[in-house]
Structure formats: C-alpha cells, structure tokens
Structure 1
Amino acid sequence: MSPVKFVLSYTAVPLMAIVTVVTWASLHASAEIDARQYASLSTSYASFPAGLRHDIADALKSGMLSKSDYSSLVRESLDDDVVLDWPAGNTVDVARERAKLLALVRADRFR
C-alpha cells in the first residue's frame, strides 16, 4: 500500500466523517423549535418561577428558540418542579406561537 493510499484510507476519510457528523449535529441543534413547543412554553409561562422566566427572556433575545435552548429550558423547568404540557389543539403556525411567547415575555418585563 502506497503512503498516499494509506493516508487517504486511514486518516482523511475518518476525519471527513467526523467533521460531517459534527457539522450536522451543530446545525440540527441550532434549528428553531416547532409550534407545539412554543405553545407549551406560552401556556405554562404564568406558573414559571422568576428565574425560569428570566432564562426564557434571555434565550429569546435572538427572536427565536433553538432546540438546544428548548432542551435546557425544559430541564430547568423540571428542576423547578414545573411540568410543561403540550396543547391539545393542532398548533402548526410557528410564527403565531412565537409571537404569543414574545408578548408574554415583553409584558412580564414591564411589570
């Protein structure tokens, strides 16, 4: 086996596979959450402790919540003994549900 073939077979290909998986995982985690997840946060927002409401406001500074933000917020809500309940209705409009949550956060800021 030539040195070039060895390098390509045993280092370049596995390295490219690792780079591809890491890139895909980071793009997947930074994607926006869906409408049901926004609705679950907005329906339970009033029962959240002040610290969790503050963390939601911080996460929404970019105007949307990513999947990694949402998973962190869910873990924090469970630590605070608050269970998120997904709405029974069919919520499919992400923009509308995001606007509801943003309105709650803004109204909470001015209290």
Structure 2
Amino acid sequence: MNVYDKAYELKRAIEELPEYKAFKDAFKKIESNEQNRKMLEDFRKKQLEIQTKELTGKEITKEDEEMLKKLYDILSLNPELNGYLAAEYSFSRIMDDITKIIMDVVNLK
C-alpha cells in the first residue's frame, strides 16, 4: 500500500462528495458577486479579530460578540451568503471528521 496513492484516492473521494460540490458552487456564486464577496470578507475579518483576541488572552467584549452576531444575522438574510455559510459548515464538519481520523496516527499513547 502506497500512502500517497491513498491520499490521492481520498482527494478524489472528497471531490465527489455532494457537500464538497455544494460548497464549491456556493463559493463560485459568492466570488462572482462583488457585494457578497465584500460582505463575507468583512465578516471573516471580524471573526479573525475576535479569534486573535481569544488566542492572545485579551477580553472579548459584549460589543465584539454583538457585532459578530449582527454581521452573521445580516449575512443570513442574503440567500446566496446563507447558502454559502450552510455549505461551508456541512463540508467543514466532514473535513474535521477526516482530520480527526488521520490524526489518530499521531496519538502515541
């Protein structure tokens, strides 16, 4: 068994997943619409800002949380952005599961 062959086999299997295809299609729609792309970009910047605060031990304020929630609520009202976020979530859950399975090899207990 060649581990690289298996990795490419996994890649091909992922590319055939309905969740991957939906995520890819939703991404293309967002990228083709400048306004939606900008809104998603602003949301991601705010998410990253809050995650950075959290990782560096800085306090996350109620204002931070409220701003992120408001941005998310606004994005959710847009059918294309809402579809993208849903597709991203579905696909990311699969990728998280796959990562956990692969990372089991690193557990040296």
TM-score (norm 1): 0.29
TM-score (norm 2): 0.29
- Which structure shows the bigger proportion of residues in helix conformation? 2
Structure having the higher Rg: 1
